[in-house]
Amino acid sequence: MQKTQVFIRDDQKKELSRLARITGRKQSTLIREGIDLYLEKAKVQSTWKENMMRLAGCLTEEEGESMQETVRQLRSGWNNRIQSI
């Protein structure tokens, strides 16, 4: 493990301290877990983007537009479900 220093805002420090206190875990552990979550999300997003770039030119314009409409409908459904929670 390597040591590094970062600056965080006062509100971040306060919330981190609170979370450490109520969970009984060290702030350093919470920070490492947060970094792991961020890195995993970034990896998934970059993999998705790389895969999409490989598909460039594989669809006709009509197929591309149809897929875009399908994605819009899916996102709308997801947003509606999230708002109802």
**Segment 49-67 mean pLDDT:** 81
Looking at per-residue pLDDT, the higher value among 80 and 24 belongs to 24
Model pTM score: 0.55
- Does residue 2 belong to any structural domain of this protein? no
Which residues, in sequence order, are CB contacts of 25 under 8 Å at separation 6+? Answer: 19
Structurally, the chain folds into a number of domains equal to 1
Confidence band, pLDDT 50/70/90 cuts, at residue 64: confident
- Does residue 71 belong to any structural domain of this protein? yes
Structural domain boundaries enclosing 39: 10-83
Q: How far is CA 10 from CA 36, 44, 52, 62, 84, in A?
A: 22, 30, 39, 51, 33
Show the tokens assigned to 8. Answer: 């965080």
